[in-house]
Structure formats: structure tokens, C-alpha cells
Structure 1
Amino acid sequence: MGTHHPSWLARPEFGGSRVIPLCVSHRRLAGRRALPRAVTHWLLDSGAYSELYLRGEWTVSTTEYVAAVRRYHEEIGCLEHASIQDWMCEPHILKRTGRSVYDHQARTVASYLNLMWRDDTLPWMPVLQGWTLDDYLRHVDMYAAMGIDLTVEPRVGLGSICRRQRTREAVRIVETLYGLGIRLHGFGVKITGLRSVHHLLYSSDSLAWSFGARHDDPMPGCSHKACSNCPVYALAWRNRMLRSLPLWQQTGLHTAF
């Protein structure tokens, strides 16, 4: 489950016997003097979308990112996966960077290789990028050409999908990559997307609960005007979402970050 608040990593309601995995962005952690001590497993989002959308390029160097992730790994703990400094391939992002899908894919593979070369003891998660199905299959081949077999990776992020989850093309992409034996993590998967492909994902994260809470009444017992930053609402949303999934498909989703 995605959260804007790093402090949630230390909240007891996400740990213990429940162990609700969380997803936190590097942009929310960078520069903090004190870091929480995690009570649950978590995934680090690199903040790639904001970086490229706002700046048109990566302004965080590989060296800086490795140092930050090493610190998170040691001081926060329980870091299960750290997303690489990938390059999304949505048309509006390509327009922002002025580069092609192929260039973004090549830079994404290069990021994984550079991060692994700098520190291969950290849990780097490679990411697949593209726009069409052929793009994604080409990206698999680009990793393979560099000696990286994505089918043996514990988790592989799937990028540039979250804004078109209702489309048949997006479903076909997930189905095909799943068929190759790749353990996919879906970034920013919304409820409609989960209902279509959750049985094909090894894990996923979502901040949809926060956006929905802006328009809902506060939870009983909550004193704030909206529950868009409320862990009580977030947990209730997660439970409702999981219960809404078809029973015959529920075994496919191992971890809902």
C-alpha cells in the first residue's frame, strides 16, 4: 500500500502479525535527518515519474541514489525492493524529455547495471518500460542482451501502465509478461486495474485510497476533515479492495504493497 508518510513504516498497525507491506517514495525520504525504524516490509519507489515530469531528466546521480538506498537499508530496515532510476514511456513524459521510447528503455537498463555495479548487495528491482506490447518484449530482450534474465529476478517493476489500466492493450501486456514467467510488480495500480489483472501480478502498490478519501466522509472516530492521510482509512480501504476481488483469482496476488 502506498503512503505519503515515511512515519507509517514504524506504525504498529502495519507490523506484528498483520505485516501490511508499504511503498514509500525516495522523494519523501531524501534529506531527512531521522528515519523511522520499519516494522513491516516495504518497497522504495525511486520517484522517477516526478523527476522526469518536473525536470525532464534525472537530477539525482547514481552515486547519490546508492548512498540514500544504503542508508534506508541500514537505518530503516526491512527494505524488500528498491526501484531503479527508470525512465517512463508515456507520451507526455517523452514530450517532456524529448527522447524516444527506445532511448528511455536503454537508459532504464543502464540504470540497473550502474546501480548493481555500485552496490550489488542492495535489493535493486529492475523495471520494464514501454508503450506497446512489442516495446515491452523488446525491453525484455534488451535486459537479456546484457546478461539479465528477468525470470529469475524476485520482482520486476512494470512501468507506464497505471494511467491506462482499463485498456485491453494494458491487460495484454500484463498477460504476456506473466506468461514469460516474470514476477511483476504493478506500480500505482488502481482498483479497476487490480480487478482485471491482480491474479497475474506478484505484488502491486496503490495510493488510490488517498485520492478516494478526499471525497469521502471521515471514518467514524476521526476528527480530521478528510481521511486522505489517515492510516485507519487506508487499512479499511485495503480490506475492502481485497474482499472485492474475485475469490477464484485471489491466490495470485502475493503481496499488496
Structure 2
Amino acid sequence: MNGPATSPLFWTGVPAPAWVFGTRRTEPYAIDWPAFPSFTSIGQVRNLRPALTDAAMDSGGFTLVSKYGEWPVTPAQYVTFLRRYTAESGRLIWASPQDWMCEPEIITGGRRGPEVYAGTGLSVAEHQRLTVENYLTLRTLAPELPIIPVVQGWEVHEYERCVELYDAHGVDLRTEPLVGVGSVCRRADTPTGAAIFATLARAGLRMHGFGVHTRAILRILRALAEIGRIDALISTDSMAWSALARRRNLRLPGCQHGVTGDGNCANCPVWAGLWRGDLLTDIDRWYRDLTTGPVQLAMGGAA
């Protein structure tokens, strides 16, 4: 069974620009792991500083398209920010394009729990067309920037159609060092989620899974191992550590957050680092064991 020299790289989602730059007014930060900041927050910073860690940039598409039903940021504006970040902060490994998610609520709008979606009123096929067109536009505007292509869809065959759409526009995703897989974060740990990654791996893609963490990574690695393409999952990202702390109202001993000091660790770099360390241990073990025997999930804090 083929596999890369190392297990998939994990980009940890960070809630604020200070995590990338190292300090803020009230607390010091000293993360030394690959960070996944979002344009929705870091794009508002007037004075960028040199980055203290490698970063992959999330374009914030889910947040923005959910809220507005369209992209409120033009490709030219996005490119201007990425160029400024590259010049002033550096250590930008890659950036997401302004892709269009295909979750049903993104398209039709409405409410899902406490979350409200504006809805685009478009079809999955139209979202795919807009995604490919945006990538082509960004590549034309800024060929020097490390912006990766992203495949979108909802059903498995729609992801195959998206690959074909890139092909039709002269982009061979099989030759790209990294291709993002979108609209999977809430269903990566399902048979459909695993099938999407396996199908794209068979097509020859090297993938980043947006929002893929813990059990979902194991499920996807298993599916890829079964077809001899465990090397196809290059990286994933998530802020699940924050959601877990918020849901459980978790606060580590000695941590003081918020005005009164008794807030939870949903924005705590100490907790994020501990959660990340446990996850990496699990990923490495799963990766090794997939060729030798059954894999067990041992991460007690999995979200």
C-alpha cells in the first residue's frame, strides 16, 4: 500500500489574528504550529506584522456567503489583501479561493438551529461554475500567489463533474500539488464523505479536507487505504477544539479568560495546543496502523 513519508498535515483554525503574530494587548501568544486564519478576521487588520508561524488562509467563504447570499468581496480586493499579507507578514503557504459552498442551506437559505442563511437561490451547478470562474480570475490577477483550486458539490457525482469543469477550462487538477475539497465539514465522518474523498483520489487528486478532524480523518484514511491511495489526503483543518470548549464550557486549571477571568477556553491557545497534540498523536497512530491491523479511536477529547 502506497503512502506519504508522513501523515496528513493538520492546520489548526485560529480565532484571531493575534495568534499568527504572537501577541495582543491582553495576553501573549506563542503558537508554533501551522495556523489556519480566516480572511474574515485577519483581513480587517490595518497594520499586519511578521507572522511567527506558517499559515494557510481561509477565504471565509462559508461565513460570508451564508450571511450575504453572495460574495461581498471582489476578487481584486481579495488579491490585494493576499499580496499585502505576503509582503508584510510572510509565511503564507497557500490560500483558499473565493469558492461557493454547496450545502443545501447555503443554496436555499433559512435556519439551521441558531444559524440563519441568506440563501443564494442558485443551483449546485451554478455554484460549481462560479467556483471555477473565480479560481481562473484569481489566477489571472495574481499568478504569483499560492491560491489553490477547490472542488465543490454535494453528491459524489457532482464532485466528479466539478473536476471535469476544471478540465474544460484547461486546469488539470491531477497536476496540482493541492486541491481543496469543499462542502464536507459537517459530513466528512459519513459514508458519503468518505466516498467523495475516495472518488477524487481515484481521479488522481491530492487533497485538503476543509473542516475535517478527529473521527472523520480516520474514516477518510481508511477509505483511501482500501484503494491504495492513503497518500491522497495531504492536509486538513478545523476549529473543532474551540467548539468543544464552548459546548462543554471547558476551562483548564490556571486559565483566566474574559472580563471576570472565569470564561471558557474556546479562544485559548493552551487548550488549542493540547487538543492539537492529542489529535496529531492519534493521526500518526492511525496512519501507521492502517497497514498492520484494526485502528482504535483513543482521543478522549474528540469533538
Deviation at 1:21, TM superposition (A): 0.7
In the aligned structure 2, how far is the partner of 1:31 from the partner of 1:246? 36
Deviation at 1:245, TM superposition (A): 3.4
Equivalent pair of 2:53/2:91 in contact (CA under 8 Å)? yes
- Are 1:130 and 2:141 matched, yes or no? no
Greater displacement, 168-177 / 217-226:
217-226
In the aligned structure 2, how far is the partner of 1:29 from the partner of 1:10? 10
- Are 1:2 and 2:34 matched, yes or no? no
Structure 2 match to 1:67: 80
Task: Tell me the secondary structure at the aligned position of residue 124 of structure 1.
Answer: coil
User: Among residues 185, 208, 214, which one is paired with 1:185 in the alignment?
Assistant: 208
Q: Which amino acid aligns with 2:274?
A: A
User: Among residues 121, 130, 136, which one is paired with 1:107 in the alignment?
Assistant: 130
Task: Tell me the secondary structure at the aligned position of residue 71 of structure 1.
Answer: helix
Count residues with an aligned counterpart: 248
1:12-91 aligned at under 5 Å gives the runs: 13-15=30-32, 20-91=33-104
**Alignment deviations for residues 208-239 of structure 1 (CA, whole Å, 9 cap, x no partner):** 00011121532232123211111110010011
Structure 1 match to 2:237: 205
User: Among residues 254, 259, 274, which one is paired with 1:236 in the alignment?
Assistant: 274
Structure 2 match to 1:255: none
**Alignment deviations for residues 108-167 of structure 1 (CA, whole Å, 9 cap, x no partner):** 000000001111000111111001111000100110111111122121111001111222
- Runs of 4+ aligned residues of structure 1 deviating over 4 Å after TM superposition are none
In the aligned structure 2, how far is the partner of 1:141 from the partner of 1:152? 14
In the aligned structure 1, how far is the partner of 2:88 from the partner of 2:196? 37
In the aligned structure 2, how far is the partner of 1:30 from the partner of 1:39? 17
Deviation at 1:195, TM superposition (A): 2.1
Q: Which runs of 5 or more structure 2 residues have no equivalent in the other structure?
A: 1-11, 23-28, 109-118, 222-229, 258-262, 291-303
In the aligned structure 1, how far is the partner of 2:265 from the partner of 2:37? 18
User: Alpha carbon RMSD of aligned pairs, Å?
Assistant: 1.8
In the aligned structure 2, how far is the partner of 1:248 from the partner of 1:164? 20
Equivalent pair of 1:3/1:24 in contact (CA under 8 Å)? yes
Deviation at 1:73, TM superposition (A): 1.1
Equivalent pair of 2:213/2:236 in contact (CA under 8 Å)? no
In the aligned structure 2, how far is the partner of 1:46 from the partner of 1:250? 33
Task: Tell me the secondary structure at the aligned position of residue 103 of structure 1.
Answer: helix
In the aligned structure 2, how far is the partner of 1:58 from the partner of 1:133? 25
Task: Tell me the secondary structure at the aligned position of residue 65 of structure 1.
Answer: helix
Identity %: 42
Task: Tell me the secondary structure at the aligned position of residue 122 of structure 2.
Answer: coil
Deviation at 1:248, TM superposition (A): 4.8
1:48–1:251: structure 2 CA closer, same or farther, 3 Å change rule?
Answer: farther
Equivalent pair of 2:31/2:269 in contact (CA under 8 Å)? no
Structure 1 match to 2:3: none
In the aligned structure 1, how far is the partner of 2:152 from the partner of 2:273? 30
Structure having the larger proportion of residues in helix: 1
Q: Which runs of 5 or more structure 1 residues have no equivalent in the other structure?
A: 253-257
Task: Tell me the secondary structure at the aligned position of residue 245 of structure 1.
Answer: helix
Task: Tell me the secondary structure at the aligned position of residue 80 of structure 1.
Answer: strand
Equivalent pair of 1:7/1:36 in contact (CA under 8 Å)? no
In the aligned structure 2, how far is the partner of 1:87 from the partner of 1:250? 35
Equivalent pair of 2:218/2:286 in contact (CA under 8 Å)? no
